[in-house]
Chains A and B, each alone.
Chain A
């Protein structure tokens, strides 16, 4: 079956006072209908920029999409005119952000903001939009919808606001929902609520979800497939069970070993990854992870490994086979 969204070799740069930041360096993946893709990485790895570029929300200048194609419903989103992109955003592809306080307009009621999305994209009248908004609010688990319609964002808690964002995102029944760190700022019990809600709505509407996060626990909960990013590069991509049980890239491996688990007794020191994530301005040649990698060989400093397939549906970018220690 054709993928719903296909990103090919996306490259994005930013011009700053301190130099050119290579934020995204050749990201490619496919998203199937109804499935959830997790994009995982630390700050500065380019995960948010990737999806913002797909949505054409990057400000140019200082940003620039230098290469790549984003195929969605037989169109290359990167080549679309701004007005056409406008029709796709919100209606076909929706995005939910990390901080709902800054994504919501503080001087408009949330009811208004949800209805606005409906009116703009579905072209329905205000009355009908009002009714649909109430339905949406109930669907995302906000009780007393008709009263809360008139409330302002500051009258909601963080978790509630995020539900409102999800309601706005889903109002036009998009094909894809992109969630950019939606629960990072929320408490763990509220996070659990939002994750459950997303799973339920996904089952209900059959949309595809892209969930961006740095939290390897949340991704394990919700994703079908997963991408690990580092310094703007994709370093591993696989089915989520495969990555956790059989990580092949040193970064993924080290990361998983450095995480404590709430369900296991402590038995060892946490494995350490020395150094810090890079800033993507002056990247040395070769593999971006080499300065921090415990498996490095000479080739790593010279040539950047591209993504290679190591198993069915499992790709990663490394010269060394971490299972055997041998170089490819």
Chain B
């Protein structure tokens, strides 16, 4: 019986016939299922545009112009959001304040992510005594209450840092302090998650294969393992922005955060405290902006968390 041996010719036998969805396409498909998460993206884009594009219509100087003769005016044609206690236009202050608040959110998040990932990765990868030390340190940091620390350091240090000049704007030096304190006190949760992922990922066979090939530890940590643990980092970073914005608002509201004349949504609330009922436009607009921003970010973060869920991702068969 003649049996045709179907052997493999040396070239080009194994073709991939169908087009597979890429990772990002798959994530987006799953993300779209959450209507609120998609709405969150839109509203965040709008808010960011508000803070950026708004500068075309007004200047920073204008937002700091005080004119006590028009103080505490309700919303009108010249001042669509009204004026504050020293006659500054609230609309333009929310625009410039928005820039600061968002910037604080982003940079504090960056600090948090860098510190958290580094500590988590090194602890998880090397294990042993390094892991013990880093984790005890992390636990100790967990015990530090963020808000009181912010309050104390904000009060003590904020005045001591000179103002900066960036992107053509002048900021109070307190911005740096706030960013640093928020960033350096919110990384611990991320460090734990990253460490846990590293502990399990470093046992995976592709890491063993990399060791076998002679790859050194640095490229293994950052080239091999880290890209496989992006999901919790992305989610944590997203929610970290919201957390930073709220923390800043909290502290500035109490008067020990970002110092005037630099506006942030938070310290605009500080001035509004006495006039809660009599001049509600002082706190409604910045308050609303904070709420909208934080809500949008939270929805996005939730949507991302579900979309990136490794258990349902078709990445393995």
Contacts and interface: CB of A to CB of B under 8 A. Distances in A.
A–B contact with Cβ pairs below 8 Å: the answer is: yes
Interface of A: 17-18, 253-254, 257, 269, 271-276, 281-282, 292, 294-295, 322-323, 325
B3 A272 contact: no
A274 B5 contact: no
A269 B8 CA distance: 12
A295 B13 contact: no
Contacts of A276: 14
Contact of A282 (B3, B6, B18, B21): B18
B52 interface: no
A268 B138 CA distance: 62
B1 A322 contact: yes
| Majority secondary structure of chain A interface residues (helix, strand, loop or mixed) | loop
Contacts of B1: 322-323
Interface in B1-15: 1-8, 13-14
B14 to A, nearest CB: 8
Given A274-B7, A275-B14, 14 more contacts: A17-B29, A18-B21, A253-B3, A254-B6, A269-B7, A271-B6, A272-B5, A272-B6, A272-B7, A274-B6, A274-B13, A294-B6, A322-B1, A325-B2
**For B1, B6, B8, B26, which residue has the most chain A Cβ atoms within 10 angstroms?**
B6
12 contacts: A17-B29, A254-B6, A269-B5, A271-B3, A274-B8, A274-B13, A275-B13, A276-B14, A281-B18, A294-B3, A294-B4, A322-B1
B314 A273 contact: no
Contacts of B14: 275-276
Nearest to A281: B18
Nearest to B26: A17
* List of 9 A-B pairs having minimum Cβ-Cβ separation, nearest first: A294-B4, A294-B6, A274-B6, A272-B7, A271-B5, A272-B6, A274-B8, A274-B13, A323-B1
Contact of A292 (B2, B5, B6): B6
A257 B7 CA distance: 13
Nearest to B17: A282
Contact of A257 (B2, B3, B18, B26): B3
A231 B26 CA distance: 26
A282 B2 CA distance: 32
A271 B26 CA distance: 39
Nearest to B30: A17
B162 to A, nearest CB: 56
A292 B14 CA distance: 11
Contacts of A18: 21, 314
A282 B18 CA distance: 9
A269 B26 CA distance: 42
A295 B4 contact: yes
B315 to A, nearest CB: 13
A18 B21 CA distance: 9
B8 A272 contact: yes
B146 to A, nearest CB: 39
B312 to A, nearest CB: 9
A292 B4 CA distance: 12
A269 B2 CA distance: 16
Nearest to B312: A17
Contacts of A281: 18
Interface string B285-317: 000000000000000000000000000001000
A62 to B, nearest CB: 13
Contacts of B7: 269, 272, 274
A254 B5 CA distance: 9
Interface string B13-43: 1100010010000100100000000000000
Contacts of A274: 6-8, 13
B165 to A, nearest CB: 52
Nearest to A279: B18
From B13, B18, B21, name the one whose CB has the most chain A CB atoms within 10 angstroms: B18
Nearest to B7: A272
Contacts of B18: 281-282
Contacts of A325: 2
A323 B5 CA distance: 15
B16 to A, nearest CB: 10
A275 B12 CA distance: 11
A323 B2 CA distance: 8
A297 B52 CA distance: 67
Contacts of B2: 325
A295 B1 CA distance: 12
Contacts of A257: 3
Contacts of A253: 3
A134 to B, nearest CB: 40
Contact of A273 (B6, B21, B26, B29): B6
A257 B3 CA distance: 9
A253 to B, nearest CB: 7
B30 to A, nearest CB: 9
A19 to B, nearest CB: 9
Contacts of A292: 6
Nearest to A278: B17
Contacts of B13: 274-275
Given A274-B13, A282-B18, A323-B1, A17 B6 contact: no
Nearest to A295: B4
The winner among B3, B8, B13, B314 for most chain A CB atoms within 10 A is: B3
B314 A17 contact: yes
B20 to A, nearest CB: 8
Contacts of B26: 17
